[in-house]
């Protein structure tokens, strides 16, 4: 796995963990924290908890699958990413708006962004 893929996976798991971490078992939370947040190796975690590297790997793999399952059902992380993108668009529109312009581009763009945010929030 390339370093870009590893970074993407780590970022994804951390994002999902932020949203769904409390729904995991204590052991899953601990192993994910050690592996993805504290950057410990499987061997280091195994030594710390007195289990095999394979057991640590399986716990982490199952926890990742659980997080992805929650995301498939609830979509909180996807909604967060959509809101973040919409807010970035809104910020760009505000930053580039010139008060002396008489057209309604800014107003239309801002209202569209706000409407999108309201739809996401349900």
- Which runs of consecutive H residues, i.e. helices, occur in the chain? 3-20, 26-32, 42-49, 53-74, 76-96, 105-121
pLDDT, averaged in runs of 10, over the chain (122 residues): 84 96 96 95 97 97 97 95 87 74 71 82 64
pLDDT value of position 113: 85
pLDDT value of position 121: 67
**Owner of token pair 């061997």:** 43
Token representation of residue 4: 């870009």
pLDDT value of position 73: 98
CA dihedral of 18, 23, 29, 33, whole degrees rounded to 10: 0
pTM for the full predicted model:
0.78
CA dihedral of 48, 50, 52, 56, whole degrees rounded to 10: -50
pLDDT value of position 99: 67
**Residue 58: HSE in the Cβ half-sphere, 13 Å Cα cutoff:** 5
pLDDT value of position 10: 92
CA distance linking residue 22 with residue 28, whole number of Å: 10
């Amino acid at each position: 796995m390339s370093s870009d893929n590893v970074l993407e996976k780590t970022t994804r798991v951390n994002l999902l963990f932020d949203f769904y971490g409390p729904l995991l078992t204590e052991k899953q939370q601990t192993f994910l924290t050690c592996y993805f947040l504290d950057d410990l190796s499987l061997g280091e975690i195994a030594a710390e908890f007195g289990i095999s590297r394979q057991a640590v790997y399986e716990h982490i793999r199952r926890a990742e699958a659980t997080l992805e399952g929650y995301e498939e059902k609830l979509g909180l992380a996807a909604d967060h990413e959509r809101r973040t993108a919409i807010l970035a668009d809104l910020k760009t529109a505000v930053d580039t708006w010139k008060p002396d312009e008489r057209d309604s581009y800014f107003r239309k763009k801002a209202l569209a962004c706000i409407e999108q945010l309201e739809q996401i929030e349900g």
